[in-house]
Amino acid sequence: MTPMFVSLLAALLVAAVTLIHADSLAAEKKIAVMWVGESEMPTNVIKGFLPRLKELAPDMRVTVKMALPDFQIAGQLFHDFETQMDGIVFLRSGGAEFLGKAKPKIPCFVGDTNNPRELGVVLNLEKPEGNITGVTNYVPYSKRLAAIQTIFPNVKSVGLLLEKDHPGTPIDQEGTSTECEKLRIEYQEFVAANRDDLAKGAKELASKVQLLIASSTALCEDNTPLLVEISHATKVPLFAYSDAAVKNGALAGLAARSDVLGRMLADSVVDVVVKGKPVAQVPVKTDPDPRIALNEKEMEFFGIRLPPSVLREAQIVKKR
């Protein structure tokens, strides 16, 4: 055998052994996925996460506990999982905050959450300390306001709808109001405690501003159809900070793609749980290319026409 052939054969053997070893490791591993409260967003993340995890580690055992009623029950489950699992995925901003306070003993992963650094979960997104990494929905507010100006170039005032006591509310407040001040756009807000309160706030803001913005909080995301009704009745367009809201009727949005983040989250779980990478070597990931999302039906309703260059790059939700 020639030296080149021997080298090639050795390389193939190493690759084969590596694959067999990775498969056997995955077969031994167990993870839990959990979140608190009813919301469409974590389900969208899971739609990207589970197929990608099945592709990378087909024998990994996954336990899913969805829409838990409260953090007391979630906390009991979490502590049980710490002794039973090799990793825990705790979705939503409240889950990220829980992990930040819990100081987990095993690798944990966040997803469907606002910026973990601003939530006090990790200090360094590139080299996360402790036992927590994952993915975040965070998109810079400068990009969000730039998208608003692309779609609504003459907008002079906006009203942001928020959820009381939601961990993401202060982040959306600060980011949106700061960028509006830089751009000399009048900023108003309403913080709602429930669905009825949200409807009241949306109507109040619609009488004062040219554009409504639905924040990335669960109350707004889950009541998008209600906000669309108010948008139609008041003739004030609705922009959203989540892609799910555009699919459910908001005119436009700029948001991280939930399915993409789900796949990225699966990659991180496999890197840590199966391949044994230290958490500090697995950054908290963001969507590298958030896209403007446009609802075709709503664009027609409000008579909005955009240049082909914008439409080519956008995600279009077609009329049904």
Instruction: Based on the fold, state whether residues 43 and 146 are members of the same structural domain.
Output: no
- The whole-number pLDDT of residue 187 equals 98
Q: What is the pLDDT of residue 11?
A: 45
Q: Which residues contact 293 (CB under 8 A, 6 or more apart)?
A: 243, 246, 247, 252, 253, 254, 255, 314, 315, 316, 317
Q: How far apart are CA 102 and CA 317, in angstroms?
A: 40
pLDDT tens across 307-317, in order? 999 999 899 99
**For range 287-299, the mean pLDDT:** 94
Residues 267 and 202 in one domain: no
Q: Please tell me whether residues 173 and 297 are part of one structural domain.
A: yes
Residue 86 lies in a domain: yes
- Tell me the mean pLDDT in the region 196-205: 98
Judgement on whether residues 302 and 191 belong to the same structural domain of the protein: yes
The CATH number that applies at residue 148 is: 3.40.50.2300
- Say yes or no to pLDDT of 84 above 60: yes
Which helix (H) or strand (E) segment is 288 a member of? none
- Look at residue 41 in the predicted model and tell me its pLDDT: 82
Residue 59 lies in a domain: yes
Q: What does the alpha-carbon distance between residue 200 and residue 206 come to, in Å, rounded to a whole number?
A: 10
The backbone region for 130, taken as left when phi is positive above 0, alpha when psi lies in -120 to 50, beta otherwise, is left
pLDDT of residue 131 exceeding 80: yes
Q: Which amino acid is at 25?
A: L
Residue pair 98/90 in contact (Cβ under 8 Å)? The answer is yes
| Number of domains the chain is built from | 2
pLDDT tens per residue, range 183-198: 999 999 999 999 999 9
For range 58-63, the mean pLDDT:
96
Assess whether 265 and 200 both reside in one domain: no
Confidence of residue 243 (pLDDT cuts 50, 70, 90): confident
pLDDT over 70 (residue 2): no
What single string gives the DSSP state of each residue in 208-220? T-SEEEE-SSHHH
Q: What is the mean pLDDT of residues 271-291?
A: 96
Instruction: Return the structure tokens found at 101.
Output: 């306070």
Mean predicted confidence (pLDDT) in 110-126: 94
The per-residue pLDDT for 28 is 82
My answer on whether 159 and 88 are in the same domain is no
Report pLDDT for 17. 41
What pLDDT was estimated at residue 15? 42
Q: What is the pLDDT of residues 13-32, one digit of tens each?
A: 344 444 444 445 556 899 99
Computed over every residue of the chain, the mean pLDDT equals 91
Query: How far apart, in whole angstroms, are the C-alpha atoms of residue 224 and residue 264?
Result: 27
| pLDDT higher than threshold 70 for residue 301 | yes
Q: Provide the percentage of residues in the chain whose pLDDT is more than 70.
A: 92
Average pLDDT over residues 38-64: 93
Strands (E), 42-139: 61-68, 87-91, 108-111, 132-136
Name all contacts of 272-275 with Cβ < 8 Å and 24+ positions apart: 272/87, 272/107, 272/109, 272/133, 273/29, 273/31, 273/60, 273/86, 273/87, 273/107, 274/22, 274/25, 274/26, 274/29, 274/56, 274/57, 274/60, 275/22, 275/25
The yes-or-no verdict on residue 5 having pLDDT over 70 is: no
Q: What is the pLDDT of residue 40?
A: 82
> What pLDDT is recorded for position 27?
60
My answer on whether 102 and 239 are in the same domain is no
Same domain for 163 and 124: no
Q: Are residues 78 and 200 in the same domain?
A: no
In a domain, 17, yes or no: no
What range defines the domain where residue 59 resides? 28-137+258-286
